Amino acid sequence: MPSGVYKRTKEHNWKISQANLKNPVKYWLGKKRPPISEEWRKKLSKAKKGEKNSQWLGGKSFEPYNPKFNNDLKRKIRKRDNYICQLCDKTEKEVGRRLSIHHIDYNKKNCKKNNLITLCCGCNNKVNFSRLDWMNYFKKRIANEHIRQKLTLFKKSNI
C-alpha cells in the first residue's frame, strides 16, 4: 500500500455508518442555505446593476429602435420564416405566443430584411450571449439559404 494512505478497519467503518444513521448527509441534495432576507436581496441587486453586471454592454438596451422596425415589418419577417423559430424549429402555436424578431448584427438601427430573423423567446434570450459567434452562425446560414434559392431558380429556368 502506498505511503500516506490509511486503510479503515471494520470497527472504523461501523462507527462511521452509525454516525451517518444519526445525522444522515444527503450529499446528492447539495448544501442548503438559509433564506435570503429582503435587505440582503436589495444589496445583491444593487451590487449587480448597470456597469457592475458582467453582461453590461454600455447601455445598448436603452438605444431606440429604428422607426421602420414596426409591427408591419415584424409580421412580414414572421411570414417569410413561415412562423417558425429559425434556431429550434418551433412554431408560434407550439410556443404559445408570437415569435420575436431578432437583429442578426445586434444593431437596432439596421432593419434590412436580410438582417432580421424569427426566433422564439427562449432562443432570442440564448443568442444574446456569445454574440459574435451567433452573428457569424446566422450570416453563414443566410448565405447558404441564398445559394440554395439561386440553385432552385436556376434548375427551374433550365427545365
Listed by start position, the domains of the chain span 65-157
pLDDT at residue number 53:
78
Which one-letter amino acid corresponds to residue 15? K
pLDDT at residue number 46:
84
In whole angstroms, give the CA distance from residue 33 to residue 128.
31
Counting as low any pLDDT under 70, the low residues of the chain are: 1-5, 24-33, 60-62, 146, 149-159
Straight-line distance from the first to the last Cα atom of the chain, in angstroms, rounded to the nearest whole number: 80
Name the one residue in this structure whose C-alpha cell is 452509525.
18
pLDDT at residue number 82:
92
- DSSP result, 91-118: BHHHHTSPPEEEETT--TT---GGGEEE
Give me 108's grid cell. Answer: 437596432
pLDDT at residue number 153:
65
Alpha helix (H) residue ranges in the chain: 10-22, 38-47, 71-80, 92-95, 121-126, 131-157
pTM of the model: 0.57
pLDDT at residue number 27:
61
pLDDT at residue number 146:
67
